[in-house]
A and B are shown apart, each in its own frame.
Chain A
Amino acid sequence: MPIQLSNVTHTYSEGSAFQATAIRNVNLTIEDGEFIAVIGHTGSGKSTLVQHLNGLLKPTSGTILIDGEDLNGEKTDRRRIRQKVGLVFQYPEYQLFEETVAKDIAFGPKNLGLTDEEIDQRVRRAMAHVHLDYDKYAERSPFELSGGQMRRVAIAGVLAMEPKVLILDEPTAGLDPKGRDRILSMVQELHAQGGVTVIMVSHSMDDVARLATRLIVMSKGEVVATGTPREIFQQVDMMKKIHLGVPEAAKLCALLRARGIDLPADLYTPQELQECLLAKWKEAHPC
């Protein structure tokens, strides 16, 4: 279910004194099975962009095709498309409202008008995806859980719609290292085993380097670069110019190259760097 954006522009409060263009002339194609990370400084338009992908925001101009269908066409059933393109907002635990975890996760499937049996199946599947034990948690109040667990319940609520594309807006914001790792490994599993296309907005270059197959770099409402992490993270200067960092390994690689150590320019994960440096060391000190 490819998503295609052509010349998408969004202006808030058009015509008023507060008019502000959040994204400008965005052209993108997102293919099935990609793991895309959207990176950019706060206010670069990342959140506005992802809200267009399931029709929560309408472009001021330009078109969005989902599976070849115009998302904002007059006859398009946007609620049907929202089911296929799931969106997890920032701090999604703040949207929980039901008495029990199971009921909250069932909210989406219920809106789809599914049978009770199907709903129950979906709730169980969604809870398994986010590593919450059904027997232990299904009947508990979501408000009694820890912050990390609440977030997983909220994500399960979107997963229960069984979307083909999953968009996550900073899914690890505010969590501790353990919580961060849990969410990220869960997303990774969904992508690798569930065949879900993932689009993740993130501020952590190290996470992005580890997970994404392609990066979309945004600055001031425009897409300034797209490419594999390897392609993007070599461009240390470009990233600096738009106030973004690169993973620490890429930074170290650039520093060492500047000092005259002969390393490939495109290293960006600690593992690669470790292998390269050890190889160099063994070369210099054959024992």
Chain B
Amino acid sequence: MLKNITMGQYYPVDSFVHRLDPRIKIVLTIAFIVAVFMVHSLVGYAIVLGFVYLTSRMANIPFKMLTKGLKPLRFILILTFILNLFFTTEGTTLLRLGFIHITVEGLSQAVHYSLRLMFLVVGTSLLTLTTSPIMLSDGIELLLSPLKRFHFPAHELGMMMSIALRFIPTLLEETDKIQKAQMARGADFESGNLLQRAKAMVPLLVPLFVSAFRRAGDLAMAMEARCYHGGEHRTRMRVLKITQHDYLACAAMAGLILLIVVEGLIL
């Protein structure tokens, strides 16, 4: 049943990494991406790999889950590799075969870019696997809240994200129902060319939009009835607190960056 789908790719287990403050995790993920871009040697990548492996162990997440995230990206990865390999023509020639011209620099750039891309995906997967969508939206809201001073609607953005998360399962269920109801009236969602298929979606999308608007109206009224009046003077049940564990995680990240810098200087 659609009801049971897991949201996003959150992997619901308890661990040191899961319990970290989402704000810290978001910041650390950004730091991790920066660190990956600072790496210029294979040894450096080995260090990053080691770091990722250790983190995944500490998060109780099977390493396979991380690599699974790469699967949909395999074409982009291969493309990045090939483009860099064949289209970097300057530098020492490694191989010349007819129109194919591979240089040492080309090979090294191809390896670099694909590795960076891979780590980028793996790093963000680590964030989404260990942080529930609602915590993620909380974290984003709080990180953006200093921008409120410049009239940036951080609270509204957070509220929107969490309501969206709340209604995704409801709307999925509804989609399934409307689809079946139209199929019972002979609708065909499966055959025909692209244009025909797009047209076949109308009986599905119109009721879905109508229903989403109706729900939005109802919800707005229910929220008002429960005294919702924006973010001002509002308290929160879930208060995020930075603990020693978060400092520890920051220290670990600082260690990683330091290692990469030192390794870059030595080699």
Contact = CB atoms under 8 A, between A and B. Distances in A.
Chains A and B share a contact (CB less than 8 Å)? yes
Interface of A: 12-13, 16, 18, 20, 51, 54, 56, 79, 82-83, 86-87, 89, 92, 94-97, 107-108, 111-112, 143, 157-158, 161
B4 interface: yes
Interface string B159-200: 000000000000000100110111111111000000000000
B178 A94 contact: yes
A18 B180 contact: no
B211 interface: yes
Given A94-B207, A95-B207, A97-B202, A158 B4 contact: no
A89 B173 CA distance: 13
Interface residues of B, number: 20
B40 to A, nearest CB: 44
Contacts of B4: 13, 16, 18
A95 B182 contact: yes
A94 B211 contact: yes
A107 B1 contact: no
B206 interface: yes
B180 A56 contact: yes
B89 to A, nearest CB: 51
Interface in B192-218: 202-203, 206-207, 210-211
Given A82-B184, A108-B185, 17 more contacts: A16-B4, A18-B1, A20-B1, A51-B180, A56-B180, A82-B183, A89-B184, A94-B177, A94-B210, A95-B181, A96-B210, A97-B202, A97-B203, A107-B187, A107-B203, A111-B185, A161-B185
Top 3 A-B pairs ranked by shortest CB distance? A111-B186, A97-B206, A18-B4
B246 to A, nearest CB: 32
A13 B186 contact: no
B216 to A, nearest CB: 15
B185 A157 contact: yes
B184 A54 contact: yes
B180 A89 contact: yes
B13 to A, nearest CB: 13
A161 B186 contact: yes
- Secondary structure at the B interface, as helix, strand, loop or mixed, is helix
A95 B1 contact: no
Contact of B207 (A12, A97, A111, A161): A97
11 contacts: A18-B1, A20-B1, A56-B183, A56-B184, A82-B184, A86-B184, A94-B210, A107-B203, A111-B188, A112-B186, A157-B185
Contact of B185 (A51, A94, A107): A107
Residue in A12, A95, A97, A143 with the greatest tally of chain B CB atoms within 10 Å: A95
B218 to A, nearest CB: 13
Contacts of B185: 107-108, 111, 157-158, 161
Nearest to B205: A97
Contacts of B207: 94-97
B186 A82 contact: yes
B208 to A, nearest CB: 9
A16 B3 CA distance: 13
Residue in B188, B203, B211 with the greatest tally of chain A CB atoms within 10 Å: B203
Contacts of B202: 97
B6 to A, nearest CB: 9
Contacts of A92: 181
A176 B166 CA distance: 30
A5 to B, nearest CB: 18
A3 B206 CA distance: 34
Nearest to B180: A56
B1 A13 contact: yes
Nearest to B178: A95
B112 to A, nearest CB: 39
A18 B211 CA distance: 27
Contacts of A95: 178, 181-182, 203, 207
B181 A89 contact: yes
Nearest to A12: B1
A241 B187 CA distance: 41
A86 B186 CA distance: 10
A13 B2 CA distance: 9
A90 to B, nearest CB: 8
Nearest to A86: B184
Interface string B1-19: 1001000000000000000
A82 B177 CA distance: 16
A186 B140 CA distance: 54
Given A12-B1, A89-B177, A95-B178, A158 B184 contact: yes
Contacts of B180: 51, 56, 89
A61 B264 CA distance: 63
Given A111-B188, A157-B185, A161-B185, A143 B1 contact: no
